[in-house]
Structures are given as structure tokens and as C-alpha cells.
Amino acid sequence: MSKSLLNEVSTHVFEKTKSVLWAPTPEGVILHNFESDSYIQLGRNLCKAWEYLDGSQTLDQVWETLEAESDSLSLTEYQDFVGDLIDHGFIQEVGNEF
């Protein structure tokens, strides 16, 4: 997802899709989207971001929460992460279930 498109949805609320399972690993968390058969390995710095994408906050609010808690994640890393999650069907906008 391009940065400009990601900026357009930054005030939208996203949640994990129903086709995704995740499991802890020694390095962080691994996500598996069974629908697309995609995998993403998250390092510890992205695990909190994944936890907060639960449909209760906008993408901007999630970033603000992460930024207040720690400085181990940059805005660019967060935007790239969210873009990958959207592109590969790991999260969806609330109310847009397919």
C-alpha cells in the first residue's frame, strides 16, 4: 500500500481478519493468513502494534499509543507494517468484512 493511500485511511479503524491465526515465537510472533496462505514474522517491536489492531482504535490512535509507550518503533516502520498487513489481508477496515 502506498504511503499516500495509507495516509488516507489513517483515521479509519482496522481489526484482524477472521482468517488469521498467530502464535508466539522466540523472536516475537508469527502470523498466518489461511485464506491467502501468507505468513508474516513479527519482531518484538511490532508485537504491540499487532495487539492494538483490534478494532477499537484508528490507525493514528494506535501509533500515538505505541509512540507514548516506547521509542523502539519508527513511524516509517509502523506505516510499512500496516501497509503489509492490509495488502496481504491480515487486517481489514471495521465494517468491511468480506
Task: Supply the pLDDT for residue 4.
Answer: 55
Alpha-carbon gap, residue 5 to 20, rounded angstroms = 23
Average pLDDT of span 42-64: 93
Between 11 and 95, the higher pLDDT residue: 11
What pLDDT does residue 72 have? 83
Name all domains of the chain by residue range, CATH numbers in brackets. 3-89 (3.90.930)
* pLDDT at res. 1: 59
Query: What's this model's pTM, rounded to 2 decimal places?
Result: 0.87
With b meaning 16 or more CB within 10 Å and e meaning fewer, what string describes 71-82? eebeeeebbebb
Mean of the pLDDT values across residues 54-70? 92
Which pLDDT value is given to residue 3? 58
